[in-house]
């Protein structure tokens, strides 16, 4: 039997296991939006750590991160270091989100901001921005699937067909079981990923380079710029670093599927330790990636698609059985994020678009049905992005993070600033979105900054100025802020 056939059989078995876990989990689901969205908020620390980690640990982490390191050198490690900062900020903001869910029943950031600003327009714009910039992230996962199937089948399963197969499986169990199915499959996939990354990375370094240190030495001999800033392409400048940090933090924390997971915690104490566990998991996951990604320049001097680096190294330098299992772990990585993102978009559409704008009298059963059917629709839209076959997964990730980061001023203003106004929120979101598009597609951002950061800066400045010159909302914002501050101060 040819190797590519064996590869596909192993992947098929893994996909069946994931589908079965999702199906069994779905049998406990209840036909209402609260259960479909956050599983009734009953998760303990183990499931929550794995579903948070697996949600972040996407196709980018498995393939795109190595590709980024290959292109831009050691400076790309700022992605891994950002995880620790993200977890601290996630706790500061996330506990407020959790308390607001328990006090007012919010399921989405759009619902929260709509209530804060007493403005359905604000909620609708937040929902639309969340949906628009999450779909490219779904496309990123599908791109990773396409690349993996292409590598494993020796080109016999085309890029788009591989992406389509993964999409169908993930959409099916998400449609059936909502958050319960997503979280339990994430747990299985998270364990699988950790083993695959560690064992696969160790074997590659030993067989391909002779050890961890020798991989870095090989990279230095090829191009010393790989181990310095601003890197071989001179991309990781001070402006590039600042841009990444300032859009990565809000851009990842405010993604719909991440906010939803905050609401899933059974208690605020479980939420706290889940953030800690997630940071540890994600930091250790990629500990070997810089060594083999940089050292790979000695083996493959000019890779056209560096996102394929990890599976190529596995097939070349690891035992065959280990390579296939590790690459299958990559499929688990991208599926765990794909299902979460499609699920997050579906909740936004049901609660904020359908109920918020179309049918104010919608019952929970109707919301549940809309959310369910939005899952495959979101998948189809993301698949259409794949027609363009993105050459570098980093582009899709930055596009998504930059767009979602636009929500930060409005969100932080609602949580902390009593002078916030709905006029400031609306102006900030609309003009920030326009600025982001201009600097992304029409003109380069000044001072070496990224388009996402320029959009965020403009959104923040407009939010503050317009809010200062417009009338505050009587009592609404202040009431929410006072309620949450009192709860936190009382340590409840």
| Tens-place pLDDT, residues 31-49 | 889 999 999 899 999 999 9
Query: What's the domain count of the chain?
Result: 1
Q: Is residue 432 part of a domain?
A: no
**384 within 8 A of 65, measured Cβ to Cβ:** no
pLDDT at 388 over 70: no
The parent domain of residue 39 ranges over 3-406
Name which residue leads in pLDDT, 396 or 370. Answer: 370
Neighbours of 479 (CB within 10 A): 12
Residue written as token pair 């290959």: 70
Across the range 266-275, mean pLDDT stands at 93
Mean pLDDT lowest for which of 200-204, 290-294, 334-338? 334-338
418-461 pLDDT per residue, tens = 889 999 999 999 999 999 888 888 888 887 777 888 999 999 99
Instruction: State the CATH number of the domain containing residue 359.
Output: 1.20.1730.10
Across the range 338-363, mean pLDDT stands at 90
Say what the pLDDT of residue 395 is. Answer: 62
Say what the pLDDT of residue 492 is. Answer: 44
**pLDDT band at residue 155, thresholds of 50, 70 and 90?**
confident
**204 within 8 A of 313, measured Cβ to Cβ:** yes
Residues pairing with 262 in the sheet: none
CB-based burial, 174-203: b 16+ in 10 Å, e otherwise: bbbbbbbbbbbbbbbbbebbbebbbbbbeb
Helix (H) or strand (E) holding 471: none
Q: Is residue 326 part of a domain?
A: yes
80 alpha-carbon distance from chain centroid? 14
Name which residue leads in pLDDT, 128 or 55. Answer: 128
Burial class (CB in 10 A: 0-12, 13-18, 19+), 377: middle
Task: Tell me the average pLDDT of the chain.
Answer: 86
Q: Is residue 450 part of a domain?
A: no
Q: What percent of the chain has pLDDT over 90?
A: 38
Say what the pLDDT of residue 475 is. Answer: 65
Find all residues with CB under 8 Å of 254, minimum gap 6, and list them: 109, 130, 404, 405, 407, 408, 411
Across the range 106-120, mean pLDDT stands at 90
Q: Is residue 485 part of a domain?
A: no
Q: Is residue 48 part of a domain?
A: yes
Say what the pLDDT of residue 380 is. Answer: 87
Across the range 163-168, mean pLDDT stands at 88
Across the range 454-472, mean pLDDT stands at 94
Say what the pLDDT of residue 445 is. Answer: 80
């Amino acid at each position: 039997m040819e190797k590519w056939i064996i590869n596909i059989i192993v992947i098929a078995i893994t996909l069946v296991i994931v589908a079965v876990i999702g199906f069994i989990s779905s049998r406990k689901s209840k036909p209402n939006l609260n259960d479909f969205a956050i599983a009734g908020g009953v998760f303990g620390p183990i499931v929550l750590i794995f579903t948070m980690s697996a949600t972040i640990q996407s196709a980018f982490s498995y393939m795109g991160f190595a590709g980024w390191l290959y292109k831009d050198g050691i400076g790309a490690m700022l992605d891994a270091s950002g995880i620790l900062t993200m977890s601290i900020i996630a706790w500061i903001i996330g506990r407020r989100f959790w308390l607001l869910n328990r006090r007012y029943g919010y399921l989405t950031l759009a619902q929260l901001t709509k209530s804060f600003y007493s403005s359905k327009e604000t909620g609708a714009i937040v929902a639309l921005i969340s949906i628009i910039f999450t779909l490219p992230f779904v496309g990123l996962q599908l791109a990773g699937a396409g690349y993996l199937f292409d590598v494993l089948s020796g080109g016999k399963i085309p890029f788009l067909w591989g992406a389509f197969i993964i999409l169908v499986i993930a959409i099916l169990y998400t449609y059936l079981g909502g958050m319960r199915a997503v979280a339990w499959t994430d747990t299985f996939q998270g364990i699988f990923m950790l083993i695959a990354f560690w064992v696969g990375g160790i074997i590659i370094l030993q067989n391909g380079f002779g050890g961890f240190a020798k991989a870095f030495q090989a990279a230095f001999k090829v191009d010393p710029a790989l181990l310095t800033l601003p890197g071989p392409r001179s991309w990781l400048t001070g402006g590039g670093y600042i841009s990444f940090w300032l859009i990565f933090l809000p851009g990842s924390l405010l993604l719909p599927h991440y906010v939803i997971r905050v609401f899933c915690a059974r208690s605020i104490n479980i939420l706290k330790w889940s953030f800690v566990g997630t940071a540890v998991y994600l930091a250790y996951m990629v500990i070997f990636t810089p060594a083999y990604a940089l050292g790979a320049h000695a083996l493959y001097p000019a890779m056209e698609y560096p996102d394929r680096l990890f599976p190529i190294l596995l097939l070349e330098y690891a035992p065959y059985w280990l390579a296939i299992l590790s690459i299958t772990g990559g499929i688990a990585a991208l599926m765990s994020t794909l299902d979460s993102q499609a699920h997050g978009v579906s909740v936004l559409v049901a609660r904020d678009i359908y109920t918020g704008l179309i049918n104010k009298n919608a019952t929970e059963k109707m919301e549940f049905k809309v959310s369910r059917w939005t899952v495959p629709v979101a998948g189809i839209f993301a698949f259409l992005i794949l027609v363009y076959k993105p050459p570098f997964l980093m582009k899709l990730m930055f596009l998504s993070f930059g767009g979602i980061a636009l929500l930060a001023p409005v969100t932080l203003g609602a949580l902390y600033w009593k002078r916030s106004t709905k006029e400031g929120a609306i102006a900030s979101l609309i003009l920030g979105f326009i600025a982001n598009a201009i600097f992304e597609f029409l003109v380069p951002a000044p001072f070496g900054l990224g388009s996402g950061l320029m959009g965020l800066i403009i959104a923040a400045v407009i939010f503050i100025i317009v809010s200062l010159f417009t009338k505050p909302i009587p009592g609404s914002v202040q009431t929410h802020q006072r309620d949450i501050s009192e709860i936190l101060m009382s340590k409840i």
